[in-house]
Amino acid sequence: MSLALAEHKKEDRDQQVPAIIAALGPKSIVLIGLMGAGKTAVGKRLAAKLDLPFVDADKEIEEAAGQSITEIFAEHGEAYFRQGERKVIARLLEAGPQVLATGGGAYMIEEASATIRQRGISIWLRAELPVLLHRVRKRNHRPLLIGRDNEQVMRNLMAERYPIYAEADITVESRDVPHEVIVKEVIEAVAVRLGCHTTRTKAPRSDTVT
Ligand code: S3P
Looking at residue 15, what is its pLDDT?
84
pLDDT tens digits for 103-156? Answer: 999 999 999 999 999 999 999 999 999 999 999 999 888 999 999 999 999 999
Residue 10 has pLDDT above 70, yes or no: no
Distance from C-alpha of 151 to C-alpha of 30, rounded to nearest angstrom: 26
- Are the C-beta atoms of 88 and 115 separated by less than 8 Å? no
Tell me if 38 CB under 6 Å of ligand 1: no
Question: What average pLDDT score do residues 92-96 get?
Answer: 95
pLDDT at 197: 78
Q: Does the Cβ of 108 fall within 6 Å of ligand 1?
A: no
Question: Quick check: 65 and 92 in contact, CB under 8 A?
Answer: no
Buried b (16+ CB within 10 A) or exposed e, 98-133: bbbbbbbbbbbbeebbebbeebbbbbbbbbeeebbb
Quick check: pTM over 0.85? yes
By CB atoms closer than 10 A (0-12, 13-18, 19+), residue 82 is middle
- For the segment 28-37, the average pLDDT, to the nearest whole number, is 98
| Binding site membership of 35 for ligand 1 (Cβ less than 6 Å) | yes
Q: Are strands 170-173 and 120-126 parallel, antiparallel or unpaired?
A: parallel
What is the pLDDT confidence band of residue 72, given thresholds at 50, 70 and 90?
A: very high
Q: Kindly give the number of the ligand 1 atom that is closest to the alpha carbon of 56.
A: 15
Of 43, 55, 51, 40, whose CA–CA distance to 95 is shortest? 55
Q: What residue type is assigned to position 59 of the chain? A: K
In the predicted structure, residue 207 carries a pLDDT above the cut 90:
no
How large is the average pLDDT for residues 5-18?
71
Ligand 1 nearest atom to the CA of residue 136, by list position:
16
Is residue 132 a contact partner of residue 204, using CB atoms and an 8 Å limit? no
Share of the chain above pLDDT 90, in %: 84
Task: Tell me the best of 35, 54, 132, 162 to mutate to test the pocket of ligand 1, counting ligand atoms within 8 Å of each CB and taking the most.
Answer: 35
Whether 153 lines ligand 1, by a CB cut-off of 6 Å, is: no
**Contact of 83 with 61, CB cutoff 8 Å:** no
User: What integer best gives the mean pLDDT of the chain?
Assistant: 92
Mean pLDDT of 172-188: 97
Q: How far apart are the CA of 103 and the centre of ligand 1, in A?
A: 4
Rounded Cα–Cα distance for residues 103 and 56 (Å): 8
* Residue 140 pLDDT: 84
Whose CA is closest to atom 16 on ligand 1?
35
| Pairing mode, strands 170-173 and 99-101 | unpaired
Of the chain, the percentage scoring pLDDT greater than 70 comes to: 88
Distance 130 CA to ligand 1 centre (A): 18
